[in-house]
Amino acid sequence: MNYVKTHTDGLLRVVTLDRPERMNAIGGALLDGLHEALQGANDDASCRVIVLTGAGRAFCAGDDLKEFGEQSATHASIRLHIERIQRITRDLMFNAKPVIGAVHGFAVGGGFEWMLNCDMVVASDDLVAFFPEMAWGQFVTGGVTHLLPQALGHQRAMELWLLGERQSAQSLMSMGLVNRVVPRDAMLDTAIALAARIAEQSPGSIARLKRLVTTQLSESLARSLELEFDATIDAFADPEAAERVKQFATRKERAQ
């Protein structure tokens, strides 16, 4: 099953998470499809800017809890799942193409992380983003343990993780984590128009700019990903954490 669609619009490549029945929740097939789509866009010389968005009523609702049992079944399956998630962060951040996030609805956990991995973000006014990992006994990744303190300072970043409170689009804009807030029906067009303006600039200069910025990030970000990898493995393997995920998933299914 292909849960990611791509569309070429001139010099732009629109990459859409397309699993709306599960609010684009993160599973193995979606991770592999997204990696393939981003790699294809990065390798295509005719593509200058990538727009990343989601179909349906959410950008990405985070890990698919229905797949948690399979993901956490063995040490090897846990490692594979985390490697797939972190591969997307590298696809988004360590390439020569700017990535514009067009983010709406829910951006939860890994979806919030991917939003923060984008170079610029256009948010719809219905965006709600938060980190549920501490409540679930899980752990954040996507390099955010380095990126968020750099952007917000230590205390504000810790507040987002420790409390897991829902953040609105306007709140995220006030923190400097999104660039534009627009009505839902204008979100994708606004992101595409912004990407088209960027595509008119010198592709060589843009590639050098992104390479320079990510090179300065690379050592500290790579170390953060390594530490997050180890912490996430521990969380997946923790029986108490697994029970928390199971209880949350049961409550969620009953509420639907």
Q: What is the pLDDT of residues 55-94, one digit of tens each?
A: 999 999 999 888 887 887 888 988 999 999 999 999 999 9
**Out of 70, 83, 113, 219, which one is annotated catalytic?**
113
pLDDT at 221: 85
- Catalytic (active site) residue 113: yes
**Out of 36, 67, 83, 133, which one is annotated catalytic?**
133
Specify the range with the lowest mean pLDDT, choosing from 88-97, 208-217, 246-255.
246-255
pLDDT at 255: 56
Query: Per-residue confidence at 253, pLDDT binned at 50, 70, 90?
Result: low
Is 80 exceeded by the pLDDT of residue 118? yes
pLDDT at 129: 98
- Catalytic (active site) residue 21: no
User: For residues 172 and 127, is the Cβ–Cβ distance under 8 A?
Assistant: yes
DSSP string covering 155-220, please?
Answer: HHHHHHHHH---EEHHHHHHTTS-SEEE-GGGHHHHHHHHHHHHHTS-HHHHHHHHHHHHHHHHHH
pLDDT at 48: 97
Query: Per-residue confidence at 256, pLDDT binned at 50, 70, 90?
Result: low
Q: Partners of 60 in the beta sheet?
A: 107
pLDDT at 211: 87
Is 70 exceeded by the pLDDT of residue 245? yes
User: For residues 114 and 52, is the Cβ–Cβ distance under 8 A?
Assistant: yes
User: Does domain 4-185 bear CATH number 3.60.40.10?
Assistant: no
**Who wins on pLDDT, 153 or 247?**
153
- Calculate mean pLDDT across residues 210-238: 86
User: For residues 4 and 18, is the Cβ–Cβ distance under 8 A?
Assistant: yes
Helix residue ranges, H only, 44-74: 68-71
Specify the amino acid at residue 185: D
pLDDT at 235: 85
pLDDT at 252: 61
